[in-house]
């Protein structure tokens, strides 16, 4: 009897810019898996009116759960997969809700040093649209978009938004997402200094007005990580594997084998090309990109969480 494609989905979670894309690609090499990359609008179905992405369990109403599961089934079957692999950083904020949708999900929590994450996220807030996983460099002063004029950047952003909505239809929730999409277009065109980006933690817009991008990045990381740690501590029955980004980069084969075993998967030869492209990560890379004052600023906000994870502060 063939397994239901919704059975035991593999959900990669972690704060934005923690390397979740890298971990997802390691798993996506498996031929049985259908990789669904950040279906943000699908997860927001029926709850687009909420001002942030920390959904309460009560938001998982029967019709919402049914709609989300049906959409995931469609996306999985369209790829010809027999099991779902999904990655959404925002799911760190709402694991109770997520497990109402997928009670038997296998959770992979990827964690990266929050100081390195803050460097990367600040670049995104300040309009750098390029995704750099390993070798972040300081963002240049931006009087104009880096890859062309405002019109070129705006057209590129519109094309990306259209592709996203085709693969992840928003339905009526597009009404609630329109302001965020408009702000992103302005940032890509160089007409707005700070873009709203990443998981929407409670009070996100207010934080963007009252705190520096580096502070907001640190608080976003802390909130996402603490939500997962607190949820899994109070729900030990939730199957969740803690994976450190630094281990994935510095010991990719051993880490991949542990991840595959947790997901009841057998690694095959198709995994080799993926592992061969993973480069070692520089320890404490944030020290090259942050001033001593900025490091102290970040550590004041996230020091307790870093210590909880075993990072040196």
- The 10s digit of each residue's pLDDT in 70-81 is 999 999 999 999
**Average pLDDT of the residues in 168-189:** 63
List the domain range (segments joined by +) for residue 302: 10-309
- pLDDT, residue 146, reads 45
3: in domain: no
162: in domain: yes
**Looking at 116-120, 172-176, 244-248, which range is the least confident one?**
172-176
C-alpha separations of 4 from 34, 107, 227, 232 in Å: 13, 18, 30, 26
1: in domain: no
114: in domain: yes
CATH number, domain of 182, equals: 3.40.50
From the list 59, 24, 10, 14, the residue with the least C-alpha distance to 226 is 14
Number of domains in the chain: 1
5: in domain: no
- pLDDT, residue 3, reads 80
How far apart are alpha carbons 278 and 170 in whole angstroms?
A: 34
2: in domain: no
Q: How confident is the model at residue 261 (pLDDT cuts 50, 70, 90)?
A: very high
The answer on pLDDT for 164 being more than 70 is no
- pLDDT, residue 149, reads 58
The answer on pLDDT for 138 being more than 70 is no
Reported as half-sphere exposure (CB side, CA atoms, 13 A), residue 246 has a value of 12
- Sequence-distant (≥ 6) Cβ neighbours of residue 1 within 8 angstroms: none
How far apart are alpha carbons 192 and 101 in whole angstroms?
A: 37
- Count the Cβ atoms, other than its own, within 10 Å of residue 182: 11
- Look at strands 10-13 and 106-111 and give their pairing: parallel
Query: Using an 8 Å Cβ cutoff, are 133 and 22 in contact?
Result: yes
4: in domain: no
Average pLDDT over the chain reads 86
Two tokens, residue 73: 């089934």
41: in domain: yes
């Amino acid at each position: 009897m063939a397994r239901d494609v919704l059975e035991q989905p593999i959900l990669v979670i972690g704060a934005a810019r923690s390397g979740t894309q890298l971990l997802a690609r390691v798993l996506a090499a498996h031929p049985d898996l259908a990789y669904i990359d950040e279906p943000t609008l699908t997860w927001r179905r029926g709850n687009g009116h909420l001002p942030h992405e920390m959904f309460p369990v009560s938001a998982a109403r029967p019709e919402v759960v049914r709609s989300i599961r049906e959409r995931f089934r469609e996306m999985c079957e369209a790829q010809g997969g027999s099991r779902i692999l999904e990655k959404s950083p925002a799911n760190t904020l709402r694991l109770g809700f997520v497990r109402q949708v997928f009670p038997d999900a296998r959770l992979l929590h990827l964690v990266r040093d929050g100081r390195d994450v803050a460097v990367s996220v600040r670049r995104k807030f300040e309009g750098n649209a390029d995704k750099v996983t390993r070798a972040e460099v300081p963002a240049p002063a931006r009087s104009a978009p880096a890859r062309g004029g405002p019109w070129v950047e705006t057209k590129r952003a519109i094309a990306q938004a259209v592709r996203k909505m085709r693969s992840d239809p928003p339905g009526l929730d597009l009404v609630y997402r329109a302001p965020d999409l408009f702000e992103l277009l302005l940032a890509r065109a160089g007409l707005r200094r700070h873009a709203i980006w990443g998981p929407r933690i409670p009070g996100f817009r207010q934080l963007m007005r009252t705190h520096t991008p580096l502070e907001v990045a640190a608080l976003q990381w802390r909130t996402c990580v603490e939500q997962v740690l607190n949820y899994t501590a109070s729900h030990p029955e939730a199957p969740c594997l803690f994976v450190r980004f630094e281990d994935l980069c510095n010991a990719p084969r051993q880490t991949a084998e542990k991840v595959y075993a947790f997901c009841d998967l057998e690694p095959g030869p198709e995994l080799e090309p993926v592992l061969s492209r993973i480069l070692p990560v520089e320890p404490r890379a944030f020290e090259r990109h942050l001033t001593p004052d900025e490091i102290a600023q970040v550590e004041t906000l996230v020091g307790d969480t870093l210590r909880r994870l075993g990072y040196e502060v």
